[in-house]
């Protein structure tokens, strides 16, 4: 059966990028690899919309999160995090593990933090060294307006603005320089359209200055040595060479399409999918849905196991389940990376069939028709 991934990482990899993975390796100190890494570093700046350095780490996204904690802080520092889902919560878990005092803005899953709430927290904790945000909270699909939050933070404090862009970069508008972001990370298996194994960190001049004072222990994730190496188109440790080569190919696709066009496409795909889903009588989970992933309430009459099995075994489609307290209650369809209009039509069609298979009353063709009208 033909297999289709609609998960928020890994996401589908373009066919020519897959073939790059199969090419014999170039040694990472060879001039050919340095030229490749130089091009990758340059194109990553376009993706992050920055003139600042963007570092390539061999790790999952969580490794890049840890790097943004241990390189910017010292034990006893206070930071502000937003816990409105699994990944926002993780910022606080990492910081606590290193002896950092964490002030958590807790919001219901699916919601986003409000500017007034952030202002209040900043007023109560004027010495906070950093605020850790999540642009697209993968576990809930909720999207935080980073431009506004960054403005609020800079207006009311001197804290560093650190953004998890893991499941948003390459889907959602993000302007590192223009929005005054100090540290922003992403992972390879999301909007960048390559397999997992690489993570990326952009750092502002202010963040690089903060690194000099930060005394938390670090070695593998020491961004000081990574910055020094990056200047010479090098990495401190052996990088995941084949993934960097694949990234080079994937970035060429992104540069060719253009960031504005990529953002527009993701918005269109998200709106088309949601029209299809709502036309079937299903309800969306988040009121502030991101353009990367759409979480949907599972109808009461249907179990997640049955739905997942109907997706997989009848239609070859893999979607993601709910996480945390929403495991079994929601499912998530990703549209992040290498997707086009017809992929959205296909997943809506698959969802109609899967629901029918589960005994949920659905008029076949109604969802695809609604999606088709919005997409076109």
Q: Which residues bind a second copy (CB under 8 A)?
A: 3, 5, 7, 9-10, 12-13, 18-19, 21-25, 27-28, 30, 58-63, 66, 93-94, 97-99, 187, 189, 195-197, 216-221, 236-243, 318
Q: Is 167 exposed, middle or buried (0-12, 13-18, 19+ CB in 10 A)?
A: buried
CB 141, min distance to a second copy, A = 18
Of 53, 215, 220, nearest to 129 by C-alpha is 215
In the complex, minimum distance from the CB of residue 60 to a second copy, in angstroms, rounded to a whole number: 4
Please, what is the minimum distance in Å from the beta carbon of residue 64 to a second copy? 9
Nearer to a second copy, 198 or 375 (CB): 198
**End-to-end CA, the chain:** 29
> How far from the centroid of its chain's Cα atoms is residue 220's Cα?
22
- Specify the residue, 58 or 139, whose C-beta has the smaller distance to a second copy: 58
- Nearest approach in angstroms of CB 116 to a second copy is 31
Q: Which is nearer to a second copy, 15 or 300 (by Cβ)?
A: 15
* Closer residue to a second copy in complex, CB, 211/279: 211
For a second copy, which is the closer residue by CB, 225 or 356? 225
Q: For the CB of residue 285, give the shortest distance to a second copy in the complex, in Å.
A: 19
| Nearest-approach distance from CB 48 to a second copy, in angstroms | 21
> Over the Cα atoms of the chain, what is R_g?
21
Of 121 and 243, which has the nearer Cβ to a second copy? 243
Give me the helix-helix angle, 366-375 and 259-279, nearest 10°: 150
């Amino acid at each position: 059966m033909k297999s289709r991934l609609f998960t928020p990482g890994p996401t589908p990899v373009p066919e020519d990028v897959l073939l790059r993975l199969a090419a014999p390796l170039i040694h990472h100190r060879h001039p050919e690899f340095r030229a490749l890494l130089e091009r990758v570093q340059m194109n990553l700046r376009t993706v992050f919309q920055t003139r600042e350095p963007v570092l390539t780490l061999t790790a999952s996204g969580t490794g890049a999160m840890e790097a943004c904690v241990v390189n910017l802080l010292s034990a006893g520092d206070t930071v502000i995090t937003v816990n409105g889902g699994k990944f926002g919560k993780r910022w606080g878990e990492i910081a606590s593990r290193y002896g950092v005092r964490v002030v958590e803005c807790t919001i219901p899953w699916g919601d986003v933090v409000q500017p007034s709430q952030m202002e209040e927290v900043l007023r109560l904790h004027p010495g906070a060294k950093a605020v850790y945000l999540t642009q697209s909270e993968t576990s809930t699909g909720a999207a935080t307006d980073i431009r506004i939050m960054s403005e609020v933070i800079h207006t009311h404090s001197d804290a560093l603005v650190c953004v998890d862009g893991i499941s948003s970069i390459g889907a959602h508008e993000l302007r590192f320089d223009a929005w005054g972001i100090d540290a922003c990370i992403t992972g390879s298996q999301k909007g960048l359209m390559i397999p997992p194994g690489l993570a990326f960190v952009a750092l502002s001049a202010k963040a690089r200055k903060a690194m000099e004072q930060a005394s938390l222990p670090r070695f593998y994730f020491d961004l000081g040595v990574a910055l020094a190496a990056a200047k010479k188109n090098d990495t401190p440790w052996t990088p995941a060479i084949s993934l960097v080569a694949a990234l080079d190919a994937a970035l060429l696709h992104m540069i060719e399409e253009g960031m504005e066009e990529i953002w527009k496409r993701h918005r269109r795909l998200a709106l088309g999918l949601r029209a299809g889903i709502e036309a079937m009588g299903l309800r969306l989970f988040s009121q502030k849905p991101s353009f990367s992933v759409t979480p949907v309430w599972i109808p009461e009459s249907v179990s997640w196991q049955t739905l997942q099995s109907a997706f997989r075994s009848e239609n070859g489609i893999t979607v993601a389940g709910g996480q945390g307290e929403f495991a079994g209650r929601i499912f998530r369809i990703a549209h992040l990376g290498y997707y086009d209009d017809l992929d959205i039509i296909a997943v809506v069609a698959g969802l109609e069939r899967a629901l029918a298979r589960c005994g949920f009353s659905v008029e076949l063709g109604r969802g695809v028709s609604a999606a088709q009208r919005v997409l076109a």
